[in-house]
C-alpha cells in the first residue's frame, strides 16, 4: 500500500483501499457517537481495543463456520477485510431487554428474551436508523426475501456462538448489532463486533462494560473497554 485512499469514513471507522479490489482496510478510530450522533466524544484507545476484540470475535465465528469479512489484523488499529457491499439493514439480536426496546415497548429492564428477539433497523443516519419490518425492507428494496432469511439465520448462529464465548469470560452478551455485506454473492458478517456494537454485562456484578457507559455517562468508559479487551484478547 502507498498513500491512503479513504473509500468511506464513518462515525467510528474509516475504510481504506488496498492494492487489491477485493480487500479493504478497516481503521478503528477513537471517536464515539450515540443517540444518532447527537452525543460525541473521543474515548482514548477505543479504536485499538475494538480492532483487537473484533479480530478475535471474527476468528471465533470463522472457526464455527460462520462467514465474516475479516481477513487479518494489519496494525494496532487496522484490520484487512473483504470488500463487501453492505446491506443497509442493521440486525439486532437481543437476549435481555434493555435500552431502546424497554423504552419503546415498556418491557422490564433486564427481562430475559427467550427465544432471542431479532429486530431490524434501516441503516440510514438521516432518518435516525428507524425500526423496520420485513415488509418495509421489501418496499425499500434493501434486501430480497432470501437475504433477509439468511441475515436472520446468521444472526441467530452468531448469537449462539458468542453467548458461551463471552460467558466463559465472565460476560453476559445482552444484545448485539450486526451488519452484513455481500462478497461474491455470499452474505458475510461485516463491520465490527465490539463493546461499541454489543452490550456486555459482568456476569457476577451486572456492571455494564460497553458503550452504555458513554451513552449514559456512567464513567470509567475506557476502563470498561479495556476490561473487555483483557477478558477476550489477553
Positions touching its own copies (CB under 8 A) are: 104-107, 113, 117-120, 122, 124, 126-127, 130-133, 135-136, 139-140
In the bound state with its own copies, the residue whose beta carbon lies nearer, of 151 and 232, is 151
In the bound state with its own copies, the residue whose beta carbon lies nearer, of 64 and 127, is 127
N residues, the chain? 234
In the complex, the smallest distance separating the C-beta of residue 135 from its own copies, rounded to whole angstroms, is 6
* CA neighbor of 83 nearest in space, from 5, 2, 153, 144: 5
In the bound state with its own copies, the residue whose beta carbon lies nearer, of 136 and 169, is 136
- Between β-strands 180-183 and 186-189, what pairing exists: parallel, antiparallel or unpaired? antiparallel
In the complex, the smallest distance separating the C-beta of residue 120 from its own copies, rounded to whole angstroms, is 8
Q: Calculate Rg over the CA atoms of the chain.
A: 17
The Cα–Cα gap between 208 and 221 comes to 10
In the complex, the smallest distance separating the C-beta of residue 202 from its own copies, rounded to whole angstroms, is 26
In the complex, the smallest distance separating the C-beta of residue 99 from its own copies, rounded to whole angstroms, is 14
- Between β-strands 180-183 and 85-86, what pairing exists: parallel, antiparallel or unpaired? antiparallel
Amino acid at each position: 500500500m502507498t498513500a491512503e485512499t479513504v473509500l468511506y469514513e464513518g462515525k467510528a471507522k474509516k475504510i481504506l483501499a488496498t492494492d487489491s479490489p477485493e480487500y479493504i482496510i478497516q481503521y478503528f478510530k477513537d471517536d464515539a457517537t450515540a443517540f444518532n450522533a447527537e452525543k460525541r466524544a473521543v474515548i482514548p484507545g477505543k479504536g485499538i481495543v475494538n480492532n483487537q476484540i473484533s479480530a478475535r470475535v471474527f476468528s471465533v465465528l470463522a472457526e464455527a463456520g460462520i462467514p465474516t469479512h475479516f481477513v487479518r489484523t494489519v496494525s494496532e488499529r487496522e484490520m484487512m477485510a473483504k470488500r463487501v457491499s453492505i446491506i443497509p439493514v442493521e440486525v439486532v439480536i437481543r437476549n435481555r431487554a434493555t435500552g431502546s426496546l424497554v423504552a419503546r415497548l415498556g418491557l422490564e429492564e433486564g427481562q430475559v428474551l427467550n427465544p432471542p428477539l431479532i429486530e431490524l433497523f434501516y441503516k440510514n443516519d438521516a432518518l435516525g436508523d428507524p425500526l423496520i419490518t420485513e415488509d418495509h425492507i421489501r418496499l425499500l428494496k434493501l434486501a430480497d426475501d432470501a437475504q433477509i432469511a439468511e441475515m436472520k439465520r446468521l444472526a441467530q448462529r452468531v448469537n449462539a456462538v458468542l453467548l458461551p464465548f463471552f460467558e466463559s469470560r465472565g460476560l453476559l452478551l445482552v444484545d448485539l448489532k450486526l451488519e452484513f455485506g455481500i462478497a461474491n454473492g455470499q452474505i458475510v458478517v461485516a463491520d465490527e463486533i465490539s463493546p461499541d456494537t454489543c452490550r456486555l454485562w459482568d456476569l457476577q456484578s451486572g456492571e455494564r462494560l460497553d458503550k452504555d457507559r458513554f451513552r449514559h455517562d456512567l464513567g470509567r468508559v475506557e476502563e470498561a473497554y479495556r476490561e473487555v479487551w483483557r477478558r477476550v484478547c489477553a
